[in-house]
A and B are shown apart, each in its own frame.
Chain A
Amino acid sequence: MNKNKEKNFWFRLKKDFGKNGSLYLLMIPVLAYFVLFCYLPMYGIIISFKDYSPRLGVFGSEWVGFKHFIEFINSPSFLPLIINTLRISIVTLCIGFPAPIILALLLNEVKSVKLGKVIQNCTYVPHFISLVVVCSIIRMFTADTGIIGSFYNAITGNTGNMLNDASTFIPIYALSNIWQECGWGAIIYLAALTGIDQSLYEAAEIDGAGKWRKVINITIPSILPTIIIMLIMRMGRMMNVGYEKILLLENSMTKEVSDVLSIYNYRRGLVLQQWSYSSAVGLFNTTINLLMVFMANRISRKVNNTSLW
């Protein structure tokens, strides 16, 4: 029975190759790309369970099981890394997540089409500027001679660059994130706003609802599913603080707050060349990220029937 089925499958596949052969042919370069550049590195993750040495190669190195994971969890830097990662993540989430929603709601109230478009396009601009340029602008502005830095120093009586101070590092990181991504992030909420049935507003107006009431009772509930989906995705990235921006902003004075998992991973791997150990750190991080997505998704499905898939 089983054998028959299998034969049937191969037979059908052969027939399909005959019929859609040129489609399969077109797929070859695409599949080659995915195998070489996505699945091969995925397979390379096995080095986290081995003692990788460049001489023996990925396949020849010796298996060591969970040695590197245990070493990482028992290392003294484990807890500070987790705390730093969570701290940066939570701060950026708390002030960065509502910002595009508020911007979208305010843009929604603008009456003039032209003005709305101009404002929208202005707020997009920072999204397209490269991170290197953005970070050097941040460095210049927050230096003791820069616009923000000199103002801050005049108020607080501090001296020196704001970025050299661990206490101002995270606010600068989070606020500059808002500056760069708020406008672009608002797009999705604006989209959700276009989908609201206008007759709801008319009905509310007939009932005598003012602007505020309409926002509270119609607008916000209507875009709530979008907000939740975005929140789930954001929660999934909770332990995933990118290394690029921190690499460009950090210095030796901010290490106590700016050393996050991805930076540790980068430094242990690419700088100190502890390949297997850092690969294990990375895998640990990815696993937690995935678990977070699944968890957030499950919770939101239970609570209000919205989920990613």
Chain B
Amino acid sequence: MFARPKFLVLYERGNNMKTLLIRKKQKGKLQKESLGERIFDFFNVVFLIAISIIAVYPLWHVFCASFSDATAIMGKSGAILYPFSGDGSLAMNIDAYKKAFSHPLILTSYWNSILITGVATTINIILTALCAYVLSRKGMMLKKFFTVVITLTMFFGSEMIPRYIVYTKILNLYDSMWVLILPGAINVYNMIVMRTNFESIPESLFESARIDGAGHIKTLYRIVLPLSKPIIAVMVLYYAVAHWNDWFDASIFLQDRNKFPLQLVLREILIQNDTASMNGASDVEGLSETIKYATMIIATVPILCVYPYLQKYFTKGVMVGAVKG
């Protein structure tokens, strides 16, 4: 029952479009393509490009709107293809960003989000690596027991209310930033992926480390982690994005507005302000439309910056997984 789920391997492998296409090239041409097939290919590509445009357009829309003239944007209801000024010509206007960054709540929450994401991701990686390392070592008597105990948490124990009661009443984490950091320190899926990765490291390396007198911590730090850079990069991406984007836990566990992460402030500005259903948050009311767009971009840019950089590792980490799978 607790074998490594097959779809995980597939999941890793699927990121690697390259293998798919290399195989396709090796296939060789047995048949000349018929006219019908060529027409299909053409429309297929056109369709997929349209899909890609739909996928990225909303973000582009927000991006352009954030640099546009505040009054010009009010009357606009169609598509926005470039940032424009009052007379409709191309222009970059950074007023909205200046205002957004001078807003005290946005600024503190931005710093909070960076802090939470940084600390939490570090803890995530350390604990996940520790857990994966121990479970990848052979000969430990309670290994099976630990594996079952840990895998069970994937199926049970994520109930909202008991979680809330236990965290606030027993662990006393209410209104503390640790409540956004400690729970979920190990994602079991990620841990299993990492463990599989560690298991693929040749046993001889561990043996020579032991002969050289290295303990487990040293082996983990000096041998296992350097060899697993790609998978760790992928894990950093997953964990960091999850922490950066989280707003719900913050909304139920935090009360002090100075501790709010960016996404929660964003929700107040973008959504609650919209429905005018909240009280006690007058400091976010009356922000102009462009500032909303600007804060959306501010909140998304860090992810979009990190993503292409980590993507290089992404395919590599995936290759390792594929060999194993």
Q: Which residues of A contact B (CB under 8 A)?
A: 12-13, 16, 19-20, 22-24, 26-27, 29-31, 33-34, 36-45, 47-48, 52, 54, 57-58, 103, 106-111, 113, 115-123, 125-126, 128-133, 135-137, 139, 141, 145-147, 150, 179, 183, 186-195, 198, 201-202, 205-206, 210-211, 226, 229-230, 233, 243-244, 247-248, 251, 262, 265-266, 269-270, 275, 278-279, 282-283, 286, 290, 308-309
28 A-B pairs in the complex with CB atoms less than 8 angstroms apart: A13-B141, A23-B140, A26-B130, A26-B134, A30-B130, A34-B149, A41-B157, A45-B159, A48-B162, A57-B169, A58-B169, A110-B44, A122-B52, A123-B55, A130-B244, A131-B247, A133-B299, A147-B78, A150-B77, A188-B7, A190-B20, A191-B11, A191-B14, A194-B23, A195-B10, A195-B13, A243-B248, A279-B159
Q: Point out the residue from A108, A146, A191, A201 that lies within 8 Å of B27, measured CB to CB.
A: A201
B167 to chain A, nearest CB (A): 7
User: Nearest 8 A-B pairs (CB), nearest first?
Assistant: A191-B14, A44-B162, A122-B52, A130-B245, A42-B157, A136-B270, A187-B14, A16-B141
Q: Determine whether the beta carbon of B41 is less than 8 Å from that of A210.
A: no
Interface size class of B (residues with CB under 8 A): 35 or more
Q: Determine whether the beta carbon of A136 is less than 8 Å from that of B296.
A: yes
A171 to chain B, nearest CB (A): 16
Q: Point out the residue from B41, B48, B149, B171 that lies within 8 Å of A36, measured CB to CB.
A: B171
Q: Point out the residue from A45, A120, A191, A270 that lies within 8 Å of B252, measured CB to CB.
A: A270
Q: Determine whether the beta carbon of B165 is less than 8 Å from that of A194.
A: no
CB-CB nearest in chain B for A145: B77
Interface of A is mostly: helix
Q: Point out the residue from B160, B186, B267 that lies within 8 Å of A266, measured CB to CB.
A: B160
**B133 on the A face (CB < 8 A):** yes
Q: Mark B118-143, 1 if CB is under 8 A from A, else 0.
A: 00000000010011011001011110
A139 to chain B, nearest CB (A): 6
Q: Point out the residue from A110, A133, A191 that lies within 8 Å of B12, measured CB to CB.
A: A191
B189 to chain A, nearest CB (A): 12
Bound: A279/B41 CA distance, A: 54
